[in-house]
Amino acid sequence: MTTVAVKPATMAQALTRALRDAMAADPSVHVMGEDVGTLGGVFRITDGLAKEFGEDRCTDTPLAEAGILGTAVGMAMYGLRPVVEMQFDAFAYPAFEQLVSHVAKMRNRTRGRMPLPLTVRIPYGGGIGGVEHHSDASEAYYTATPGLHVVTPATVADAYGLLRAAIASDDPVVFLEPKRLYWSKDSWNPEEPAPVEPIGRAVVRRSGRSATLITYGPSVPVCMEAAEAARAEGWDLEVVDLRSLVPFDDETVCASVRRTGRAVVVHESGGFGGPGGEIAARVTERCFHHLEAPVLRVAGFDVPYPPPMLERHHLPGVDRILDAVGRLQWEAES
Amino acid sequence: MTVMEQRGAYRPTPPPAWQPRTDPAPLLPDAEPYRVLGTEAAGEADPELLRRLYAELVKGRRYNAQATALTKQGRLAVYPSSTGQEACEVAAALVLQEQDWLFPSYRDTLAVVARGVDPVEALTLLRGDWHTGYDPHEHRVAPLSTPLATQLPHAVGLAHAARLKGDDVVALAMVGDGGTSEGDFHEALNFAAVWQAPVVFLVQNNGFAISVPLAKQTAAPSLAHKAVGYGMPGRLVDGNDAAAVHEVLADAVRHARAGGGPTLVEAITYRVEAHTNADDATRYRGDAEVETWRQHDPIALLERELTARGLLDEDGVEAARQDAETMAASLRAHMNQDPALDPMDLFAHVYAEPTPQLLEQRAQLRAELAAEAESEGAQR
Ligand SMILES: Cc1ncc(C[n+]2csc(CCOP(=O)(O)OP(=O)(O)O)c2C)c(N)n1
């Protein structure tokens, strides 16, 4: 068997490659946003695209998020496949009305006659030492909006595969990019990149028997680290990477929890109204008789995102995850 | 060298980065709303066009009356009437070619009907059996937009996309005076001008946003003046002068089609009825004001012109009236039928493929409906 050179690549590189491949494969794919052209985006995800495909395909727009998304809606109405870049999580909020009232609803309001195949890429989450308005875990706004798909990669390969799938989707996809993983490296074979399909399947990142950590995006590596550390305590943790919040993969999640009997949901988003509440409820409703303990959540605190020098106290970390695992009523075991 | 010594040599220059950009003078609107009817310009208007406009206006007025009546009979959930604004509604539809796109607001069902959409389908939103009753692609009419001004960036994006593809398409987007205060109005006009998109923005300044008069909405010299700040021409027109509205919009469409970019048109008109059938206009305006506008009625203005020029006689008036009655009777008959409803439609078009979660919820509703049917059967 020949082994292909599998080189380390960053998530940022995989995302750029996904955009490039999508644009090369389909002339209706248009990238648009603030600074995405000449500069290549503040995170350089669109690096080189304007040069390769021209400024009509990778466009520096005026600085107005509602206008960017609103015009993208019109472009999608005319048969293009816009890929919009929002510069940061908190700067996507001006586009919220367009997203909720039009992007999410257009297929439904027109009885399927006017679907909007567009992708909204949003760098999200903390951990990069950003000053205020640069670190919001904003996913719950989007998961609370019917009509949107909400996906978020945690690995280099998934970054490529999910973005290709998002752009190919005939539904609008909010593509949340964990910005602190942009520079994370993975061995990845760029010779055989493949879309992740269908959107909506979770993956078991690490098998274990003791308990399941249910997580996504920026918290996946943290959970992997916690699972390693937990071995010292005698726990063999399973880690489920959701990859897609909407649609939600009840099947994979529940299969894991039924095996382990215990679960902790981990995310940066605040606990109150965050996805973890929904996930805990779904797991409880479906796996009640398999559960040895209540489903716990390790979430960001219900506070405005803290200043960078305090963010480590806010973000779910290994210790907080292990504490939660410790509270999963192990006494009953012995 | 002292400052005083330098003085002789000092030549003030503009800041280095400054360059004169767009000359504002040609973008400025006329001092007064442009008019055709009753002026010399009327002599140049195409008689056929005037007669067509007249027939459409009369039909439009009847359509508004019929739709309002349907709210009283419980056949429409709500109706925002365009009575008094028919000249704008009709002209907006008539200036467009087959391949062009119309972006209407909730008040513009008349424009949608004048574009050729079945009135029942145009009124689906306001009847309440679905949100959009027509196929937007079939008629190139975007769904009626209720969130104010949000349809404007769509028009810009669509026109921009068409231009990128090399297609000959102009988008005409409609908005009210209140809607011009929204951020999306600003963003849409800015994008349109920067991209030189083939778009025409038609603001119907009907005096009110529900109860709020224009004076509380803006301090601009006119809404048309706002165009200048974006670098596009602004045109001010008498919105009750159908010939003038048609001419100004047709000019703007032609300009856009020729690659000249967007235009902002402000049509001065008046919302003769309350905001909707659910509104009480007596709380914020007096009858006297309404009466002055009734004296400047779009149909009367056009009828006077046509009659004076011998282009319309009593038979012509009667024929237009008959035509309108036929339309109203048909609308009544159709709207008096209960729409077919299928509760399962709730789940039909949320996504291309329903999510597992929606499949579960669909099954739940189906079971509820079955149980309901069974208990109704048992009661019988
Ligand atoms: C974003 C938004 N805010 C508020 C409303 C509620 N609303 C509906 S119509 C209206 C007044 C709009 O006035 P104008 O733009 O002048 O249009 P007109 O109704 O006079 O045609 C308001 C406030 C809305 N539809 N959308």
Residue B266 near ligand 1, beta carbon < 6 Å: no
Same domain (yes/no): B283, B362: no
Q: How many CB atoms lie within 10 A of CB A132?
A: 12
Q: State whether B356 and B275 are in the same domain.
A: no
Residue B1 pLDDT exceeds 80: no
> Which among A56, A106, A112 has CB closest to B164?
A56
* From B186, B284, B304, B362, the catalytic residue: B284
pLDDT per position as a tens digit, B317-330: 999 999 999 999 99
A79 min Cα distance to partner chain B (Å): 8
- Our CA-based measurement puts residue A273 at a distance from the nearest CA of chain B, in whole angstroms, of 19
For CA atoms B285, B287, B288, B289, the dihedral sign is positive
> pLDDT, tens digit, for every residue of B92-130?
999 999 999 999 999 999 999 999 999 999 999 999 999
Residues B39-94: tens digit of each pLDDT: 999 999 999 999 999 999 999 999 999 999 999 999 999 999 999 999 999 999 99
pLDDT computed for residue A5 by the predictor = 58
Bridge-based pairing state of the strands A7-10 and A185-188: antiparallel
3-state class of A17 per DSSP? Answer: helix
Residues B374 and B324 in one domain: no
A49 touches A36 (CB < 8 A): yes
| Per-residue confidence (pLDDT) for residue B2, from 0 to 100 | 60
Strand, helix or coil for residue B288: helix
- Write the pLDDT tens digit of every residue in A78-104: 999 999 999 999 999 999 999 999 999
For residues B154, B156, B162 and B166, what is the CA-based torsion angle, rounded to 10 degrees? -170
Q: What's the CATH number where B281 sits?
A: 3.40.50.970
- Top-level CATH class of A8-187? alpha beta
Residue A249 backbone phi and psi in degrees, to 5: -90, 80
**Residues present in chain B in total:** 380
Is B12 domain-assigned?
no
| Domain assignment present for B356 | yes
- Distance CA(B167)–CA(B161), nearest Å, equals 9
From the CB of B84, is ligand 1 less than 6 Å away? no
pLDDT above 70 coverage of chain B, percent: 98
pLDDT for res A189: 79
Ligand 1 proximity of B262 Cβ (cutoff 6 Å): no
Helix H or strand E segment including A59: strand A58-60
State the complex-level ipTM: 0.95
B186 is catalytic: no
For residues B267 and B64, is the Cβ–Cβ distance under 8 A? no
Question: Residue for token digits 């909720």?
Answer: A100
For residue A80, what are its two tokens? Answer: 């293009």
Q: Which residues of B touch A106 (CB under 8 A)?
A: 143
A1 pLDDT band, cuts 50/70/90, is very low
Kindly state whether B185 is in contact with chain A, defined as any CB-CB distance less than 8 angstroms. no
Q: Do B50 and B163 belong together in one domain?
A: yes
My answer on whether B68 and B159 are in the same domain is: yes
Q: Hey, of B158, B342, B346, which one would you mutate to test binding to chain A, going by the most A CBs within 10 A of its CB?
A: B158
Residues 342-371 of B with CB under 8 A from A: 345, 348-352, 355-357
| Rounded-to-integer distance, Cα A307 and Cα A74, Å | 38
Q: What is the mean pLDDT of residues B176-198?
A: 98
Beta-bridge partner residues of A300: A270
Contacts of B175 in chain A (CB under 8 A): none
CB pairs under 8 A between A and B: 141
The one-character DSSP state at A102 is I
Both B194 and B306 in one domain: the answer is yes
The answer on pLDDT for B5 being more than 90 is no
Task: Please give the mean pLDDT across all residues of chain A.
Answer: 96
**Residues of A identified as active-site:** 134
Domain count, chain B: 2
Is B217 in the same domain as B241? yes
The Cβ of residue A304 has, within 10 Å, a number of other Cβ atoms equal to: 11
Mutation test residue for ligand 1: of B145, B206, B210, the one with most atoms within 8 Å of CB? B210
B275 is catalytic: yes
Residues 6+ apart with CB under 8 A from A76: A82, A116, A117, A118, B157
> Looking at the domain assignment, is residue B177 inside a domain?
yes
**Residues linked to residue A8 through DSSP beta bridges, in sequence order:** A187
Q: What is the pLDDT of residue B12?
A: 77
Lowest average pLDDT, out of A61-70, A231-240, B20-29, B257-266, goes to: B20-29
The span from the first CA to the last CA of chain A, in angstroms, equals: 48
A122: left (phi over 0), alpha (psi -120 to 50) or beta: beta
Residues A80, B130: C-beta atoms closer than 8 Å: no
Average pLDDT over residues B208-225: 97
Residue B130: inside a domain? yes
Average pLDDT over residues A33-58: 98
**Do B279 and B366 lie in a common domain?**
no
Q: Residue A231 contacts by C-beta under 8 Å, 6 or more apart in sequence?
A: none
Give tens-digit pLDDT for A138-160.
999 999 999 999 999 999 999 99
Kindly state the average pLDDT of the residues A283-308.
98
What local confidence, expressed as pLDDT, does residue A2 receive?
45
Nearest CA in chain A to B167: A78
Residues B255 and B357 both lie in one domain:
no
Q: Residue B238: inside a domain, yes or no?
A: yes
What Cα–Cα distance (Å) separates residue B36 from each residue in A280, B12, B84, B195, B249? 68, 49, 18, 32, 13
Same domain, B324 and B360: no
pLDDT at B189 over 90: yes
Residue A334 has pLDDT above 60, yes or no: no
Residue B36, pLDDT above cutoff 60: yes
- Residue B7 near chain A (CB below 8 Å): no
Question: Are B75 and B203 contained in the same domain?
Answer: yes
Task: Read off the pLDDT of each residue in A320-332 and give the average, rounded to a whole number.
Answer: 94
Q: Which two tokens stand for residue A325?
A: 């695992």
Give the three-class secondary structure for B146.
coil
User: CA-CA distance, B52 to B44, in Å (whole number)?
Assistant: 16
Is a pLDDT exceeding 80 seen at residue A190?
no
Question: Does residue A81 sit at the B interface (CB-CB below 8 Å)?
Answer: no
Flag whether pLDDT at B10 surpasses 90.
no
Q: B165 contacts in A (CB within 8 Å)?
A: 78
Cβ neighbours for B203, distance < 8 A, ≥ 6 positions apart = B175, B176, B177, B179, B180, B223, B224, B264, B265, B266, B267
Looking at the fold, whether B299 and B372 belong to one and the same domain comes out as no
Give nearest CA residue, ligand 1 atom 19.
Answer: B209
> What is the pTM for the complete model shown?
0.96
- Note the pLDDT tens digit of each residue in B355-377: 999 999 999 999 999 999 999 98
Sign of CA dihedral B313, B315, B319, B322: positive
Question: Is B3 part of a structural domain of the chain?
Answer: no
Provide mean pLDDT across the span A244-255: 98
pLDDT at residue A196, as a whole number: 77
* Largest pairwise CA distance in chain B: 109
Question: Would an 8 Å CB–CB cutoff place B188 in contact with chain A?
Answer: yes
Here the tokens at position B222 are 């006119």
**Is the C-beta atom of B179 inside 6 A of ligand 1?**
yes
| Distance between CA atoms of residues A268 and A303, nearest Å | 11
Report whether residue B178 contacts ligand 1, using a CB cutoff of 6 Å.
yes
- Residue B110 Cβ < 6 Å to ligand 1: no
Chain-chain contact of B357 with A112 (C-beta, under 8 angstroms): no
- For domain A203-333, the CATH architecture is 3-Layer(aba) Sandwich (3.40)
Could you tell me where in chain A the CATH 3.40.50.970 domains are found? Answer: 8-187
Give the position of tokens 């006009």: B189
* Residue B365 domain boundaries: 343-379
